[in-house]
């Protein structure tokens, strides 16, 4: 009977109810059927939130990045790099890798990331440097640059 929470989640998702409401209701129902006090259930929700709060910070950054991309962050990054004659794809990716490694050595592993840095900034800068040097890039070269940009983010 304690697994009623799983059934609540399945039904809630089938009916397309707000996922936060469904999961909260499932947690409350499961806790109450397990004979836990309301205080204990709320305490478990709070503990889960505080141990996983970095997820909320990550989710909060995505709309900001989306708005910046909507208003031309990608294009601006490409044009700025295209104006720098010494900038090459390799130099940009190497510089980003060094920055990521230094940040990780200092314990700042959450700086950067594919959604926050690579897609909106690093890849367009690397593509802009290649376009400035070689002109219009074929799609397979553009895909390779994006793949290498994502690779240097992995530390």
43 & 118 share domain: no
Residue 58 confidence (pLDDT): 60
Is pLDDT of 34 > 80?
yes
Residue-number span of the structural domain to which 100 is assigned: 58-153
69 & 138 share domain: yes
- Greatest mean pLDDT among 52-56, 60-64, 90-94, 115-119 lies in 90-94
Residue 3 confidence (pLDDT): 81
Give the residue among 58, 51, 59, 70 at the shortest CA–CA distance from 19: 59
82-137 pLDDT, tens digit each: 888 888 999 999 999 999 999 888 888 777 777 778 888 899 999 999 998 899 99
96 & 139 share domain: yes
83 & 103 share domain: yes
3-state secondary structure 91-141: HHHHHHHHHHHHHHHCCCCCCCCHHHHHHHHHHHHHHHHHHHHHCCCCHHH
Report the range of poorest mean pLDDT among 48-57, 80-89, 116-125, 136-145: 48-57
Burial class of residue 97 (count of CB atoms within 10 Å of its CB; 0-12, 13-18, 19+): middle
């Amino acid at each position: 009977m304690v697994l009623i929470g799983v059934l609540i989640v399945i039904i809630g998702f089938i009916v397309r109810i707000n996922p936060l409401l469904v999961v909260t209701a499932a947690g409350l129902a499961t806790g109450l059927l397990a004979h836990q006090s309301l205080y204990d259930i709320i305490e478990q929700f709070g503990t889960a939130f505080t141990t996983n709060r970095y997820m909320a910070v990550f989710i909060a950054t995505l709309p900001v990045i989306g708005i910046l991309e909507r208003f031309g962050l990608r294009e601006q990054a490409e044009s700025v790099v295209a104006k720098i004659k010494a900038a090459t794809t390799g130099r940009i990716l190497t510089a980003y890798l060094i920055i990521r490694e230094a940040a990780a050595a200092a314990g700042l592993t959450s700086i950067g990331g594919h959604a926050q840095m690579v897609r909106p900034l690093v890849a367009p800068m690397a593509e802009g440097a290649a376009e400035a040097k070689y002109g219009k890039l074929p799609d397979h070269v553009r895909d390779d640059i994006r793949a290498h940009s994502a690779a240097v983010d992995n530390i």
